[in-house]
Structure 1
Amino acid sequence: MSRKKSAAGDPLKQALARGIALHRRGQLRDAEQQFLSILRTRGDYAPAHHALGFLYYQADRLDLSLQSLQRSVDLKSRNAPAWNDLGNTLRDLGRLTDAAGAYQRAIKLEPDFALAHCALAQLRHHGEPDEHEGEYRALGQAYARSRNGSPERRDLAWGMARAAEQRGEAERCLALLKEAHRIQRGERRFSIDATTRYFAAIREIFTRDFIEAHAEGGDSSTLPVFVFGLPRSGTSLVEQILASHSEVHGGGEQRLVGNLCGQLERQSGLVFAAAFARLDAAAKRRVARDLESRLRKLAPRARRVVDKMPANYLCLGMLAVLLPKATFIHCRRDPLATCWSIYSTRFSEPHTFADELSDLGAYYRQYQALMAHWDAVLPGRIHHVDYEQLVASPDQQIPALLAAAGLDCEPACLAPHLTERAVRTASAVQVREAIHDRANGRVERMGEHLAPLRDALGGAA
């Protein structure tokens, strides 16, 4: 019997490794071609289907991701990570029952698979009586077996915290969240002083006089609709409502504006606001046209395209100069409810300001002050959507929202949970539900355990 080829001597594994390395370096097109080349040679090679499906998922090509990942598990049914990745794709496509089944398969194959446990917990409601008691026990057992301080412990703690909150175990919930944030933070430290200086620099540059003096040099397109606010303030719901309209494309959380700010800061060594102010009129016009063009490419036939990156609230002055006819929609929610939802949510990209309740409350106050500044320098330009009012009276609030975007109300917009589209945010599950106000009671259920957060919010609460 001949000896089995080692990984180092296996051409398929070597080709797969090259594709994975390209993917990690961000060379997605080259990585895609590498995986496709492997599959042209060996169409039944499950690892290449898995790698390609994961690439498509990260590239927001969910239909292709679904095809590749399903093929992967069909060929190799005992691959727990592939089942987990398939669950993520199904969840973001709104197929929640199928997603739960995929996570269950991953856990059955690997009982301590932390990411699958955490994702499954996000799909469940663990109130009393708990129909998912068995899953809760398995989650707790995996947590107990996990190593202190490990990423697996962090993810399992997130899942346990969600279940504990729903079961009315407030103290247990808070302890688990503190552990998850402590592991996540590691050696990183958030500085409220640095944040305060950063926000002040933005306000200093983007005065009303500056915006009015430069707005005529921007692009006059009415295509963009920017939906923004702190995370967990209702931005996903608002985008889902808008995207339910026949003339609107929901672009999700685009990185275009953030990448622009980062580029300005890297090139100048200054806060983006100061770097932007130094651009001449021709450069500003080029930036505006490029930004509008990139949004248009998302849906060339749409009348309006939504960018719902929450952090764009930092850049409203710049956007008002670049795209003076864009629509600005600010989502806001009760401060305590917003902050608790941020603190208790596992985001794919962590927010450093949210790892300590005291930092979170202080950051909220800075956000609130910046939004007051934007209202002062952009009078009448920002349409505010209050989450509590939206879920309490959607029949009144939704037509007003659409009118702010220059749109007539269509029946589909009043039942946004029925709109089939990919949603790639922490609210991917919630937007599949009919509009409700059940989330409004979460703060009350935590009671005095949130006293430190109330204190940190001060007058904002």
Structure 2
Amino acid sequence: MTLEEQKEIQQLKQWLMQSQHQAVISGCNDILRRTREDMRVSQHILKEVLYLKAVAYRLLADVNSAIETLNELISYFPDYARAFQELGYCYLASDRKRAAHSFYQATRFNPALLTAWLQLEKMYKADNQSQALALCQQQIAFLTSLPRALLGATDLMHEGQLHKAEQVCRQFLASNEHHPEAMMLLAEIGIQLKVYSDAEFLLESCVTLYPDNDRAAAAYQNLLSKLGKFPDAVSVAKKRLQYAPESFTVKVGLAHALVGVGELEQAIDIYRELLSENEDRPAVWVALGHALKAKGDTREAVNAYERAIVFADDFGDAYWSLANTKTYRFSDELLAKMILLVDAEATKLDDEIHICFALGKGFEDSADPTRAFAYYERGNRRKKRTLQFDIAKTEKALQAQQQAFTKGCFNKTQGCQAADPIFIVGLPRAGSTLLEQILASHSQVDGTMELHDILGIASSLSHQATPYPLNVSALSNETLSKLGEQYLRQTRAYRQGAPFFIDKMPNNFIHIGLIKKILPNAKIIDARRNPMDCCFSGFKQLFGEGQEFSYSLNDIGRYYNAYEKLMDHWHSVLPGEILTVQHEEVLDDLEAQVKRILAFCGLTFEEACLAFHKTKRVIKTPSSEQVRQPIYKTGMGQWKPFESYLDELKDVLPARS
């Protein structure tokens, strides 16, 4: 936001405090007119102006205009908590049910909105909703117990003002060292800023200082899982269980961590035990389904997802999980039900997004590309508006890799000399799971999963005087070797004893320079797919986390271009060190490509690699069911029925349509 824009907003707020409501509305309309003419105006301005305009209308008792303005605001920013809180005030006098729903939505998107919780408390008391009232009062008690500065910082964090929140939190910690709530809050801010190493240190310290604080332990375990440090997450979960052996949430946390390390039977046993105590736990049914799907038991996984819907028929994750098996087919009756749910006012934003993607898959399977694309586009649009993703920043980050790593900076005698890892990189939905399954069928290769360890090492190098990747060239040989050894040590828990193992984190394509500095003998395979197929397949996929570029056709096309450009650079500075495998060529001539891949990895040919679909192993990616079948080509050209809707993508990839 420019200084001039800040002055305009401040003037509007001053008029509002002086009850010059009409002046606020006129001033807002002037800014909005300019905003719509100049799309370079910041989104923050649009949010602030529409909000102030709505408040001014409500204070003028023009509730209808206030509601209309708020609905426009929410269409742009569907997770803006204060817009829902204001909507609650607008409905208080005329529609208590809508008011309650609006306040509830506000607390979902910003749990620090004490005034919204207090309004809900009044309503729950009046309606004798004892269970909801108890949870509400619990949150009110927690918020009122927080020091004023931490409550303010928590509010700022949930409003997306992360740097301001960090500043307030650090100031508080300067005079209140080791305050547990402040340490946890600063860690959460760090996670949102993707400063994962700092967040991990804070939470580890908090757990050490306050071993009986389960909120801190749970936050630490969740971060470890997010970073792919599942063995450590299991260790934390087991310690939590010692303090609270009967806790439902602790048992669920342990099961989630066990899934992460591939201990599926133990996890499934825990989920089933919890469901035997109480079947009305839809999130546990979905978690059980994920574990069963990773194990290869798709039929039982589908049953688990369907049971989740029985207990919560608007649970979007259950519908998307069914669609994400890639083999499930929705009935016409279920599609009709999902359409009603996705348009229902009571459906939560996250559920709406999940159901939109499921409907897209359902109508695509029904050969109705018009309706399928409408729901894919709606789900992507809603999801993108909850993210703060800037493709231009990502393009610059990939360009920085090219600047940091030149041909002369690589020395095969430096770094850890182990040749164990085989990295499979590329874009999501490019066929990397198939390549992993082929290689994991070899007797000398362990399949693992999408390991986060290279991303973690890159993150640990990011917050220094000279930031990553520009600082890698200055690292000593001793440091490079230690980083390579650290990677091998951290990934050992995922191996089963074979000489080689696979790391199938697609995003590692960004960090090939780092990989080759710390592990010069590692093999790197680039999974490549037809750009239109790859990009559209990514657009149709609702990812668990990350891959923010995939929720816009323009973004995903630009990301693909940046990926290709960076891969060209890696090939030029590391000639012969990367094998590009085209997905379509694998489908056309499996045996030739398998022999080519094995030769590159220095492995002898084994027939089992051709019968990869018979290999039983844990697979947790969306392609898990597809690679448990023999080669088929139905995935090729899936974008073509949607061609008339993909001009935005084709314009970015003009030579590849």
Please, which moves more after superposition, 347-356 or 254-263? 347-356
Deviations 1:69-89 (A, max 9, x none): 111112222322221111111
TM-superposed deviation, 1:433: 2.3
Q: Does structure 2 conserve the Cα–Cα contact (< 8 Å) formed by 1:227 and 1:331?
A: yes
Q: TM-score, normalised by structure 2?
A: 0.63
Q: Report the AA paired with residue 365 of structure 2.
A: Q
Secondary structure, aligned partner of 2:464? helix
Alignment match of 2:354 (pick from 131, 155, 161): 155
- 1:420 matches 2:616: yes
Secondary structure, aligned partner of 2:580? strand
Please, which moves more after superposition, 344-353 or 292-301? 292-301
**Which residue pairs with 2:454 in the alignment?**
257
- 1:31 matches 2:261: no
**Which residue pairs with 1:356 in the alignment?**
552
Report 1:415-454 matches (<5 A): 415-454=611-650
**Which residue pairs with 2:655 in the alignment?**
459
Q: TM-score, normalised by structure 1?
A: 0.88
Change (3 A) 1:189 1:23: closer
Q: Report the AA paired with residue 645 of structure 2.
A: H
Q: Does structure 2 conserve the Cα–Cα contact (< 8 Å) formed by 1:235 and 1:308?
A: yes
Q: Identify the structure with bigger relative contact order (alpha carbons < 8 Å, sequence gap 6+).
A: 1
Change (3 A) 1:298 1:118: closer
| Cα distance in structure 2, aligned partners of 1:61 and 1:35 | 17
Secondary structure, aligned partner of 1:180? helix
**Which residue pairs with 1:218 in the alignment?**
415
Q: Report the AA paired with residue 217 of structure 2.
A: L
TM-superposed deviation, 1:221: 1.3
Q: Does structure 2 conserve the Cα–Cα contact (< 8 Å) formed by 1:114 and 1:142?
A: no
**Which residue pairs with 1:196 in the alignment?**
395
Alignment match of 1:247 (pick from 417, 435, 444): 444
Change (3 A) 1:30 1:297: closer
TM-superposed deviation, 1:378: 1.1
**Which residue pairs with 2:382 in the alignment?**
183
- 1:56 matches 2:56: no
**Which residue pairs with 2:579 in the alignment?**
383
| Cα distance in structure 1, aligned partners of 2:585 and 2:610 | 15
| Cα distance in structure 2, aligned partners of 1:38 and 1:353 | 40
Q: Report the AA paired with residue 342 of structure 2.
A: Y
**Bigger radius of gyration, 1 or 2?**
2
TM-superposed deviation, 1:121: 2.0
| Cα distance in structure 2, aligned partners of 1:24 and 1:432 | 35
- 1:229 matches 2:426: yes
| Cα distance in structure 2, aligned partners of 1:366 and 1:189 | 19
Please, which moves more after superposition, 342-351 or 285-294? 285-294
| Cα distance in structure 2, aligned partners of 1:281 and 1:267 | 18
Q: Does structure 1 conserve the Cα–Cα contact (< 8 Å) formed by 2:423 and 2:503?
A: yes
| Cα distance in structure 2, aligned partners of 1:21 and 1:428 | 34
Deviations 1:208-264 (A, max 9, x none): 1111xx331122211110100011111111111111111111121111110111110
| Cα distance in structure 1, aligned partners of 2:438 and 2:335 | 33
Secondary structure, aligned partner of 1:439? coil
Report 1:380-419 matches (<5 A): 380-419=576-615
CA RMSD in angstroms comes to 2.5
Provide structure 1 residue ranges, at least 5 long, that are not aligned to the other structure.
Answer: 10-16
Q: Report the AA paired with residue 152 of structure 1.
A: D
Deviations 1:352-380 (A, max 9, x none): 22222112111111111111111111111
Please, which moves more after superposition, 440-449 or 426-435? 426-435
Q: Does structure 1 conserve the Cα–Cα contact (< 8 Å) formed by 2:261 and 2:494?
A: no
| Cα distance in structure 2, aligned partners of 1:417 and 1:152 | 33
Q: Report the AA paired with residue 338 of structure 2.
A: L
Please, which moves more after superposition, 23-32 or 442-451? 23-32
Alignment match of 1:85 (pick from 280, 287, 291): 287
Alignment match of 2:343 (pick from 144, 153, 175): 144
TM-superposed deviation, 1:131: 7.2
| Cα distance in structure 2, aligned partners of 1:131 and 1:286 | 51
Change (3 A) 1:47 1:357: closer
Alignment match of 2:270 (pick from 68, 84, 103): 68
Q: Does structure 2 conserve the Cα–Cα contact (< 8 Å) formed by 1:91 and 1:99?
A: yes
Q: Does structure 2 conserve the Cα–Cα contact (< 8 Å) formed by 1:83 and 1:102?
A: yes
| Cα distance in structure 2, aligned partners of 1:324 and 1:76 | 52
Secondary structure, aligned partner of 2:461? helix
Deviations 1:52-76 (A, max 9, x none): 3234334543232111111111222
TM-superposed deviation, 1:21: 5.2
Please, which moves more after superposition, 395-404 or 309-318? 395-404
**Which residue pairs with 1:99 in the alignment?**
301
Secondary structure, aligned partner of 1:328? strand
| Cα distance in structure 1, aligned partners of 2:509 and 2:327 | 32
Report 1:221-370 matches (<5 A): 221-268=418-465, 270=467, 272-299=468-495, 301-370=497-566
- 1:205 matches 2:404: yes
Q: Does structure 1 conserve the Cα–Cα contact (< 8 Å) formed by 2:418 and 2:519?
A: yes
Q: Report the AA paired with residue 182 of structure 1.
A: R
Change (3 A) 1:18 1:132: farther
Deviations 1:422-444 (A, max 9, x none): 11222223222222111003112
Secondary structure, aligned partner of 2:637? helix
**Which residue pairs with 1:110 in the alignment?**
312
| Cα distance in structure 2, aligned partners of 1:307 and 1:184 | 28
Q: Does structure 1 conserve the Cα–Cα contact (< 8 Å) formed by 2:341 and 2:347?
A: no
